[in-house]
Amino acid sequence: MLTVFPIQSKLEQEELCLKCNVKYNINSFAYRADDEHFIGICQFRFEKGIGYIENLCYAPNIEDSEAMIIMLRATMSFMHRCGIGVSIIEENATTNELLKLSGYRKNEDNQYFIDLNKFYGSSCSER
């Protein structure tokens, strides 16, 4: 069964970043996805009212895009509950495949972003 949950220990976060070959940021929050084994990590931070996805990365020898998108949605939901209105996926934070599946679109600054207020605040008929 898939589980997505916040990483509570900075030591664990650092170890999982190392395992996924991504830069560990002690100041970032992180989620992990598991399905009887470690699937991947999502590191993110808040800065001036914007949520930044720093990494959305698979564990070695794993490619479960559905689990990664579910983890991204959990991250987005957490951001929205914290009052963050916009989320940006940083350059090179994830694979092209996951970027296409994410729902994020390029803005005028050529960054992949999503308006969390619209994503979570509007009914299906308004999208």
| pLDDT tens by residue, 53-109 | 999 999 999 999 999 999 999 999 999 999 999 999 999 999 999 999 999 999 999
Token digits of residue 125 = 């008929």
For the chain, what are the domain ranges? 3-126
* Domain 3-126 classification at class level: alpha beta
- Taking a C-beta distance cutoff of 8 angstroms, is the pair 104, 114 a contact? yes
Residues in Cβ contact with 30 at an 8 Å cutoff, skipping those fewer than 6 apart: 6, 7, 13, 16, 17, 41, 42, 43, 44
Residues in Cβ contact with 21 at an 8 Å cutoff, skipping those fewer than 6 apart: 57, 60
**pLDDT at residue 3 tops 80:** yes
User: Model pTM?
Assistant: 0.92
